[in-house]
Amino acid sequence: MIYIVKLKMLFQVFEVLTALMIADMPPREGSQTYLLLSIALSHYNEKARWALAYYRVPYAHHLLLPWFHIFTVKPIVDSGVCTHKTRDTRSSPVSTPCLAVYDASGTKLQESFHDSHDILVYLSEKFSTPDYVNLYTSCDPEKVDEIYALEKHYDEGLGVAVRDFVYLDMHVINKWHAMLPLALVGFRNRVGLLQLLIWFGFSPLLGRMTMSIMEITPSKYQEAMQTCREDFRHASECESHLCSMSRGVIHPSTNMTI
């Protein structure tokens, strides 16, 4: 409970400070239409970046630090432009990745997506070509649900396990080796001076709060290790099966990075 109280107090301070610098920013570079908001440490965000790169979509990228991203994403959520129905997901509306879609002038927000799956579906439907196929329908339109089930399996199984494994390793098991690199995340990722300085000073506290809120314990660490082993074995079996079916050529839509 004490961590929650401290978190609320910090949020009140951060909301004022970060709003001055990063909240509700339209794209300024790379693209006037697509703005990707993501955090520095997240494999879920990597899915969105991979999909944008796969379809050769120009976009502006604003990198944020964990916790700070809430104050940038929330104004987009509050704008009410997200009209599509999100598939069953555990993602919070203010989580990342967040893909904001603007008009041609780059000033009017028209649509937003707040889950890696939703971003992949949107990009697949809008930008797929014979060379860069739809990630969900290219194998067989009737297998869309099966492909989504595989993606969801890795998101909620392997994805969560990797998060628990990394967080406990950084904040507990190897905290003295990880504390300074964690504090220097902002310097390495160019997140902006204000975020950088606050993160550098409060990263140990934010790390402990994260561990407490997510209830990451040594027992979950061992469970995460086992889940990683099982899912990597499952991925290898799927890849071997696909190779045998395609005579050694893996179809682009079966890329195992999901």
Which CATH number characterizes residue 62's domain?
Answer: 3.40.30.10
Please indicate, yes or no, if residue 199 is contained in any of the structural domains: yes
What is the rounded distance in angstroms from the CA atom of residue 163 to the CA atom of residue 207?
Answer: 13
State CA 129 to chain mean position distance.
Answer: 25
Distance, CA of 44 to CA of 89 (rounded, Å): 13
Q: Which structure tokens are listed for 39? A: 């955090």
pLDDT of 244 reads: 55
The residue written with tokens 């990880």 in the block is: 178
Structural domain count of the chain: 2
Residues 129 and 152 both lie in one domain? no
Task: Answer for the pair 157, 123: CB distance below 8 angstroms, yes or no.
Answer: no
d(CA 214, CA 105): 40
The CA R_g of the chain, rounded to the nearest whole Å, is 19
Determine, yes or no, domain membership for 81. yes
Asked if 52 and 113 touch (Cβ cutoff 8 Å), the reply is no
Asked if 10 and 77 sit in the same domain, the reply is yes
- Verify that 125 and 224 share a domain, yes or no: no
DSSP one-letter code for 215: T
Residue 36 dihedral angles phi and psi, to the nearest 5°: -105, 125
Q: Is residue 34 part of a domain?
A: yes
Residue 105: other Cβ atoms inside 10 A:
9
Is residue 226 a part of any domain in this protein?
A: yes
State pLDDT tens for residues 6-57. 555 555 555 545 444 444 444 445 567 899 999 877 888 889 999 999 999 9
> What percentage of residues in the chain have a pLDDT greater than 70?
76
The answer to whether residues 123 and 87 belong to one domain is yes
pLDDT at 58: 92
* CA 84 to the chain's CA centroid: 19
Of 102, 137, 172, the residue at which a domain comes to its end is: 137
Output the pTM of the full model.
0.72
In this predicted structure, the answer to whether residue 68 has a pLDDT above a threshold of 60 is yes
Residues 61 and 94 grouped into a single domain: yes
Q: 119 and 148: one domain? A: no
Domain hosting 201: range is 144-248
Domain check: are 129 and 34 in the same one? yes
**Could you give the percent of the chain with pLDDT greater than 90?**
14
Distance between CA 98 and CA 57 in Å, rounded?
15
Query: Does 255 map to a domain?
Result: no
